[in-house]
């Protein structure tokens, strides 16, 4: 993902079956960026659409030079489509938004000015403060999910699900997306030192096309949240995760077996039919397995870090006067 000095802003939009919205979307992005005084490109990533969106993007690119479509061979999901857009982007600032026109491209110039005036900020996340969606099916699950994600990741945002976000290019350098991780980008980037703020943005009801949201997506998000929690806390020390569970099982298991061994040796009591024996053996074996997984994880992390990857990132020398 190399930056181009000719492009200041890359706008990345994953597209899946948005045929009816695409002409208006491209035109509204063009209108929003036309007078902002920055060079820009629009990267629409077709995620295996079946309604002709892929062909329509080809046609629109012929009349809109800033439009640079990408076409995935099949439907990989929003995170992968967004990653494909990040890989193709060449701007110093990367903007993401949805292709259904519920995000308003008119917000982009204002957010760009906000980013320019806040050099310490790396990510601006949109907040759909006045969200135009159904309460029970969309707003309530989203509110609960945002509370949970903020609590688990430590990055407190009102609206993780809002696709309208601005990123400095460096903030995405160490972030790779898959599964449903696109909504966790602020938390993942914060792990590498990115500073995140949030601001209200406009939100419109969907007027054309069909929503791709389903309640089972919430379940997938929760499962990915478990992975993100592990990633943020134990990526560089897997033994602390697996070893902790292993010791919590191994120590009680060994104590049970020691107690039963003492009974057998000093009292001659038959212990072969006792449930405690089976429980002690099970705890001991499971504890040993978790410890082995922790050791294996440590070896994998060592292999990952040593040949190609640095364990830390450096920043520029701080400026200004020291506090007295």
CA-only gyration radius of the chain, Å: 25
Whether residue 319 lies inside any domain: the answer is: no
Non-local (6+) Cβ contacts of 116 within 8 A are none
Residues 226 and 249 in one domain: no
| CATH number of the domain enclosing 109 | 3.90.550.10
Single out the residue of 109, 114, 134, 132 nearest to residue 124, CA to CA: 114
228, 190 contact by CB (below 8 A): no
d(CA 60, CA 63): 6
Distances from the Cα of 49 to the Cαs of 17, 76, 279, in angstroms?
5, 10, 53
If one counts the domains in the chain, the total is 2
80, 48 contact by CB (below 8 A): no
42, 11 contact by CB (below 8 A): yes
CB neighbourhood size of 141 (10 A) = 17
SS3 string, 253-303, reads: HHHHHHHHHHHHHHHCCCCCCCHHHHHHHHHHHHHHHHHHHHHHHHHHHHH
Single out the residue of 152, 151, 107 nearest to residue 129, CA to CA: 107
Residues 224 and 242 in one domain: no
Torsion angle of C-alpha atoms 104, 72, 223, 291, degrees rounded to 10: -140
**Tens digit of pLDDT per residue, the chain (324 long)?**
556 668 999 999 999 999 999 999 999 999 999 888 899 999 999 999 998 999 999 999 999 999 999 999 998 888 899 999 999 999 999 999 998 889 999 999 999 999 999 999 999 999 988 887 776 667 787 788 888 888 888 888 888 888 999 999 999 988 888 777 888 899 889 888 899 999 999 988 877 767 666 566 667 777 778 878 887 778 778 888 888 899 999 999 999 999 999 988 888 888 888 889 999 999 999 999 999 998 998 888 777 666 655 655 656 655 555 455
289, 246 contact by CB (below 8 A): yes
1, 173 contact by CB (below 8 A): yes
Structure tokens at 183: 């909504």
Residues 152 and 245 in one domain: no
Residues 111 and 73 in one domain: yes
Query: For the chain, how are helix, strand and coil distributed in percent, rounded to 5?
Result: 50, 10, 40
Whether residue 109 lies inside any domain: the answer is: yes
Max CA distance (Å), the chain: 92
Residues 171 and 82 in one domain: yes
Whether residue 317 lies inside any domain: the answer is: no
Residues 264 and 189 in one domain: no
Whether residue 1 lies inside any domain: the answer is: no
d(CA 203, CA 161): 12
pTM: 0.76
Distances from the Cα of 322 to the Cαs of 24, 318, 319, in angstroms?
51, 10, 9
Residues 245 and 217 in one domain: no
Residues 201 and 99 in one domain: yes
Question: What domain range includes position 135?
Answer: 9-234
Last residue of a domain, one of 186, 205, 234: 234
The β-bridge partners of 152 are none
């Amino acid at each position: 993902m190399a930056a181009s000095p000719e492009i200041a802003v890359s706008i990345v939009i994953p597209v899946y079956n948005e045929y009816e919205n695409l002409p208006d979307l491209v035109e509204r992005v063009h209108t929003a960026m036309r007078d902002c005084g920055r060079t820009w490109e629009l990267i629409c990533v077709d995620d295996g659409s079946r309604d002709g969106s892929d062909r329509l993007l080809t046609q629109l690119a012929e009349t809109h030079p800033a439009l640079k479509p990408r076409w995935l061979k099949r439907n990989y999901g929003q995170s992968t489509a967004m990653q494909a857009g990040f890989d193709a982007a060449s701007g110093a600032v990367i903007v993401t938004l949805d292709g259904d026109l519920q995000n308003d491209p008119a917000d982009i110039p204002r957010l760009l000015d906000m980013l320019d005036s806040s050099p310490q900020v790396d990510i601006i996340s949109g907040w759909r403060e006045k969200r135009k969606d159904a309460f029970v099916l969309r707003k309530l699950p989203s509110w609960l999910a945002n509370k949970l994600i903020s609590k688990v990741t430590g990055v407190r945002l009102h609206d993780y699900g809002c696709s309208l976000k601005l990123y400095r290019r460096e903030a995405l350098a160490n972030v790779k997306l898959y599964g449903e991780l696109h909504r966790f980008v602020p938390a993942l980037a914060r792990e590498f030192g990115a500073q995140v703020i949030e601001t209200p943005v406009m939100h419109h009801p969907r007027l054309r096309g069909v929503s791709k949201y389903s309640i089972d997506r919430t379940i997938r998000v929760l499962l990915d949240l478990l992975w993100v929690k592990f990633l943020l806390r134990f990526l560089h020390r897997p033994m602390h995760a697996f070893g902790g569970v292993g010791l919590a099982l191994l120590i009680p298991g060994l104590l049970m077996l020691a107690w039963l061994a003492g009974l057998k040796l000093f009292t001659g009591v038959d212990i072969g039919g006792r449930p405690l024996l089976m429980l002690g053996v099970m705890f001991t074996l499971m504890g040993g397995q978790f410890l082995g997984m922790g050791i294996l994880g440590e070896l994998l992390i060592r292999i990952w870090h040593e040949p190609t990857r640095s364990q830390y990132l450096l920043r520029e020398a701080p400026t200004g006067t020291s506090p007295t």
